[in-house]
Structure formats: C-alpha cells, structure tokens
Amino acid sequence: MRVLYASVLRLWDVVDDLSRLRPERSAAYSVSVFGSARTVPGSKEYEDIKRLAATLTRQGCTVVTGGGPGLMQAANEGAREGAPDHPERSVGMRIALEFEQSVNPYVGEFFEHRTFFSRLHHFVLRSNAFVVTPGGIGTALELMTVWQLLQVRKLTQTPLVLVGEMWKQFVDWASRYMGPSQDAVDAMVYATKQELSIPQCVSTVDEALEIIDADHQRWSSSPVFRGIEDEAPLGAC
C-alpha cells in the first residue's frame, strides 16, 4: 500500500510539472460553459445558452462543455451553429459514468475522463473564461473549483460569469454567512469582500456576452492573458 501511495504521489508531481509547461497563449480564446444536464431542448434556458455559444464561435472563440445533454448540449449545438465549418470550436469533456449518456451529437472535439478531478483540471487548463448557467451539484462543484482557484491566484484575469438569479442568490448566501457581518463586528470572517466579489453575476446571456467580449478583445491585443499577475480583476454581484 505504501508503494502504491508513493507512486500516486509521484504521478501527481508529473501532472503538476506538465501543467507548468502549458502554452501561455492558446490558439483560440476558449470559453467553458457549465450547466445542468437535465434542461430540455426548446426551453428558454436551452435556447439562451445555444444563442450564447453561437455568438461566441462566430467571434472566433472555442466553446468547451462537459459534452453531455441539457445545457451542455445547448452550448455545443450553438457552437456548431455559429461556426459550421469549424467543428473543433465545439469541445466536449465527458466523464465516464455508468449511468451517463454518450457524448452529445454536437461535439466536434472530444475528450473522455475517468475522474472528475482530471476533468476539472482539463477545463482549467483549456479555458480563458467560464460561464456558469443554471445547474445542480455538478455545476456548483465546477463553479466553486474555479472560484477557489481565482481566490488563491492560481488563475488570474479569467472571467467567471454566473448567469441567472439562482447564482446571484448563491453568492448572496455566501456573502451573508462567509463574509464580514455588519450586525456582529466580532463575527468570524471566512472570506473577504474582495474574494466574494470575484464572480460576476448577470441576469441574461447578453450581459454575459458583453463581459466575455471585452475580455476576448483584451486577450486578442496582448500576448499573455493567463498566469500570475499583480492583481486579478474582480467582478461584483
């Protein structure tokens, strides 16, 4: 058991080393879209995310999802619709689960992971921005992973955009129970106001597109927009 454990630790070291070798600038600006696998085609949420992804790929961006159904499929469908001659702009990163369906038919470039940890790592390595749409526990895991990486500055200058009222209320809850209290001055503070303001909460996909478009333009005009910087941009909910 000790030998196995030591081997796993060495493997993690190799993964860390490879992560440091990633190119500082990718060929295309990539946006990961997180969201529910249960949303049905034709619903307003589905059509909104489809439109968001189509707009992004028309602007030359790559859209990355979990490759499954629901809002993941909406994003991949929109990505293909926006750039029909560039299937590589519609990326899916599927997790191998017994009860999970195969990759959705709109994925142009496909990766499969056996663990959630490697999949999340791949999302982070691949993405220049993150858009979080309505979803459940899996979507919350993805959101919190990116939020924490931005908090500790393992990611910087990477927009984290939360779409919809549910996420605004989620951030409000975090601010209430983790942040400084106006009522109790001596209450324990688990997160600073600055850390709690990292996600940018918006009501519509059009607002999300404005944020992503601004960062995309900035990225396009500079050789590097990933890595540790002096200050990470913070949004406000």
Q: How far apart are CA 100 and CA 111, in angstroms?
A: 15
Average pLDDT over residues 152-165: 96
Q: CA-to-CA distance for 10 and 31, rounded, in angstroms?
A: 31
Q: Give the per-residue pLDDT at 231.
A: 42
Residue 128: C-alpha distances to residues 13, 25, 46, 66 (Å):
24, 9, 23, 16
CATH topology of domain 26-163+202-220: Rossmann fold (3.40.50)
- Which residues make Cβ contacts (< 8 Å) with residue 1, sequence separation at least 6? none
Task: Kindly report, residue by residue over 2-21, the tens digit of the pLDDT.
Answer: 767 677 666 666 656 555 54
What span, in angstroms and rounded, lies between the C-alpha atoms of 164 and 177?
21
**Per-residue pLDDT at 91:** 98
Q: pLDDT by residue (tens digit) across 31-54?
A: 999 999 999 999 999 999 999 999
Confidence of residue 235 (pLDDT cuts 50, 70, 90): very low
Q: How far apart are CA 231 and CA 237, in angstroms?
A: 19
Alpha-carbon distance of 81 to 75, in angstroms, equals 10
Extents of the domains making up the chain: 26-163+202-220
CB 71 within 8 A of CB 104: no
State the pLDDT at residue 101.
65
pTM: 0.86
Residue in 163, 170, 165, 209 with CA at minimum distance from that of residue 71: 163
Per-residue pLDDT for 132 more than 90? Answer: yes
Q: How does pLDDT run across 55-96, given as a tens digit for each residue?
A: 999 999 999 999 999 999 999 999 999 999 999 999 999 988
